[in-house]
Amino acid sequence: MQSLFLQGPSVTLRTILLVIASVVVMVADHRWQALETVRDAIESYVVYPLRYTINLPSQLVDWGDKSLSSRQQLLDDNRKLQEQQLRAQVSLQKLSVLENENDRLRKMLSAQPKVGELVLVAEILAIDLDPYKQQVILNKGRNKEVYIGQPIIDAWGVMGQVVHLGLFSSTALLISDPSHAIPVQVSRSGLRSTAFGTGNSQLLELRYIPHNADLEIGDVITTSGLGGRFPPNYPVGRITSIERAAGESFATVLAEPVAHLDRSREVLLVWHKMQVKDVVITKPVDDESRAVKK
């Protein structure tokens, strides 16, 4: 026989306990990052299969698109890519000369040689997260030795960093998220600053820049490498507006990210703390798609 009413006090008691538990869990997660392993486990074994299923239709469409494209289209693509490859090859030739020269000069100055970087192509899964957060899910995780704090870039510039790990996937925070900040440098004048996300994928904000700073609209900002999380000299954005309000102690400087934050499908994960002292690396690493970059 079922009772007509639920056990009143027990529901209240359980609710109070669970509310307290929620608060404890939130503090542990946010303040001490103590729950990354729990999140990792849930993400890997419960959530990832769901994400994979959701991503499947878009993957199928991609596949269908590829297998149904006409011969003419493939030929066109092929020609276009070969042209591009040729052009890239030409500029690479010049680059290698410059690099050798740079090496020689560095040796003459007995400066530290540049550190090598390793990159791996990852794909962004077609999954919507909280629209008020600038996050993406990548299809590479702990199984490819991705780590928390790892920078991700696309063909145009810095995109963000990995914040949560799963076994087969990872969550990356984009540089435009309001909780993200990246140390940057204006490449023309060397001025250092920090670019904060605004929540708008087309807008970054440079804070704490004095009124008399050497800064112009159109200046390119790159990573400064300070803080050690991002490798130096990757493009981040371009200055779009500078406002020097008389009453304020700092100028309001806005920049537009150069990476295609809301359009890129493929991104690169960068290992920049590899202790490879030699600048020229030719040995390919086990994974096919992992290429060595200088």
Partner 1 sequence: MRSQNCFRIVIPTLIIALMLGMWPLPDWLEYARPEWVVLVLMYWALAMPERIGVTMAWVVGLLLDVTQGAIIGQHALGLVLVVFVISTQYQRIRVFSLAQQALVVMLLLLVKQVMVLWVSGIVGQAPDIGLYFLPALTGAILWPWLFIVLRDLRRRFTVSSRF
Using CB under 8 A, pick the residue from 56, 58, 62, 214 that binds partner 1.
Answer: 58
Of the residues 59, 102, 135, 202, which one makes contact with partner 1 according to CB under 8 A:
135
Beta bridge partners of 291: 119
| 129 binding partner 1? (CB under 8 A) | yes
109 binds partner 1 (CB under 8 A): no
For residue 137, count other CB atoms closer than 10 A to its CB.
25
- Provide the minimum distance between the beta carbon of 267 and partner 1 in the complex, in angstroms, as a whole number: 17
Q: How far is the CB of 20 from partner 1 (least distance, A)?
A: 10
Q: Give the footprint of partner 1 on residues 155-214 (CB under 8 A).
A: 163-164, 171, 178-179, 199
Given candidates 108, 131, 282, 286, which one binds partner 1 under the rule CB under 8 A? Answer: 131
Burial of 136 (0-12, 13-18, 19+ CB in 10 A): buried
Q: In angstroms, what is the minimal distance from the CB of 167 to partner 1?
A: 13
Collect all residues with Cβ–Cβ distance below 8 Å to 241 and sequence separation of at least 6. Answer: 217, 252, 253, 254
Nearer of residues 101 and 262 to partner 1, judged by Cβ: 262
For the bound state, the minimum distance from the C-beta of residue 164 to partner 1, rounded and expressed in Å, comes to 7
220 near partner 1 (CB under 8 A): no
- Residue 109 DSSP one-character state: T
Question: Residue 181 or 292: which CB sits closer to partner 1?
Answer: 181
Task: Work out how close the CB of 44 gets to partner 1 at its nearest, in angstroms, rounded to a whole number.
Answer: 10
Does residue 61 bind partner 1 (CB under 8 A)? no
Rg for the chain, CA atoms, rounded: 24
Which residues between 26 and 55 bind partner 1 (CB under 8 A)? 26, 28-30, 35, 38-39, 42-43, 46-47, 50-51, 53-54
96, 113, 128, 149: which one contacts partner 1 (CB under 8 A)? Answer: 128
The one among 104, 107, 133, 277 contacting partner 1 by CB under 8 A: 133
Alpha carbon dihedral 269, 270, 271, 276, in 10-degree steps, equals 140
Burial of 203 (0-12, 13-18, 19+ CB in 10 A): middle
Task: Give the position of tokens 């702990």.
Answer: 142
Rounded-to-integer distance, Cα 48 and Cα 238, Å: 36
CA distance 138 to 124: 5
Q: Measured from the CB of residue 14, what is the shortest distance to partner 1 in angstroms?
A: 5
Looking at this protein, which amino acid is placed at residue 201? S
List, in sequence order, every beta strand (DSSP E) within the chain: 117-123, 135-138, 151-153, 158-165, 170-174, 181-186, 192-197, 204-209, 220-223, 235-243, 251-257, 266-271, 290-293
169: exposed, middle or buried (Cβ count in 10 Å: 0-12, 13-18, 19+): buried
Of residues 128 and 243, the one with the C-beta less far from partner 1: 128
* Residues near partner 1, by CB under 8 A: 2, 6, 8, 11-12, 14-15, 18-19, 21-26, 28-30, 35, 38-39, 42-43, 46-47, 50-51, 53-54, 58, 126-133, 135, 163-164, 171, 178-179, 199
